[in-house]
Structure 1
Amino acid sequence: MGNRLKVSAQNRAEVRKQAQKLRREGLLPGVVYGKQLESKNLSVNRKEFEKIYKQTGESTLVDLTVGSEKPLTVLVNAIQRDGLTNEILHVDFHEVDMKTKIKAKVILQFVGEAMAVKDLGGVLVKNVTEVEVECLPADLPKGLVINISKLKTFQDSIKISDLEFDHEKVKVALKPETVVVKVAEPRTEEELKELSEKPIEDAVESVEGVVKEEKKEGEEGKDGEKKEETSPKEEKKS
Structure 2
Amino acid sequence: MDAVLQIQERTIEGKKVKTLRNQGITPIHLYGSEFDSASMQVEMSELISVLNLAGFSSPITLNDGKKNIIAFAREVQRHPLTEQIIHVDFQIVGKDDQVEVEVPVNLTGESPAVKNLGGVLIKLMETIRISSKVNVVPKSIELDISVIESLEQSILVSEIEVAEGVQIVSDESFAIARVIPPRIEIEEEVEEEIIEGEESEDQAETDESADSDTDDKSEE
Query: Would you say same fold, with TM above 0.5?
Result: yes
CA distance in 2, matches of 1:121, 1:42: 53
Tell me the equivalent position of 1:230: none
| More moved, 109-118 vs 29-38 | 109-118
* Alpha-carbon shift at residue 13 of structure 1 (Å): 2.1
CA distance in 1, matches of 2:110, 2:18: 45
| More moved, 78-87 vs 68-77 | 78-87
Unaligned runs of 5+ in 2: 195-220
Q: Deviations over 1:181-225 (max 9, x none)?
A: 1101135335435999xxxxxxxxxxxxxxxxxxxxxxxxxxxxx
- Aligned with 1:106 (options 100, 103, 106): 103
- Aligned with 1:181 (options 155, 160, 177): 177
Give me the TM-score of the superposition, normalised by structure 1. 0.70
CA distance in 2, matches of 1:54, 1:107: 13
Alignment of 1:4-153 (within 5 A): 4-66=2-64, 68-111=65-108, 113-153=110-150
SS of corresponding position for 1:192: helix
Tell me the equivalent position of 2:202: none
Structure 1 residue identity aligned to 2:135: A
Give me the TM-score of the superposition, normalised by structure 2. 0.75
Structure 2 residue identity aligned to 1:169: G
Give % identity: 28
**Taking structure 1 as reference, are residues 58 and 194 closer, same or farther at Cα in structure 2, changes over 3 Å only?**
farther
CA distance in 2, matches of 1:84, 1:110: 33
Q: Deviations over 1:38-84 (max 9, x none)?
A: 11111111112211211211010111012x33111111111112222
Unaligned runs of 5+ in 1: 197-238
SS of corresponding position for 1:106: strand
| More moved, 155-164 vs 74-83 | 155-164
* Alpha-carbon shift at residue 174 of structure 1 (Å): 3.0
State whether residues 14 and 41 of structure 1, in contact with CA within 8 Å, keep that contact through their aligned partners in structure 2.
no
- CA-atom RMSD in angstroms: 2.6
Structure 2 residue identity aligned to 1:79: V
Aligned length: 192
State whether residues 9 and 41 of structure 2, in contact with CA within 8 Å, keep that contact through their aligned partners in structure 1.
yes
CA distance in 2, matches of 1:195, 1:21: 63
Tell me the equivalent position of 1:171: 167
State whether residues 158 and 179 of structure 1, in contact with CA within 8 Å, keep that contact through their aligned partners in structure 2.
yes
CA distance in 1, matches of 2:193, 2:82: 36
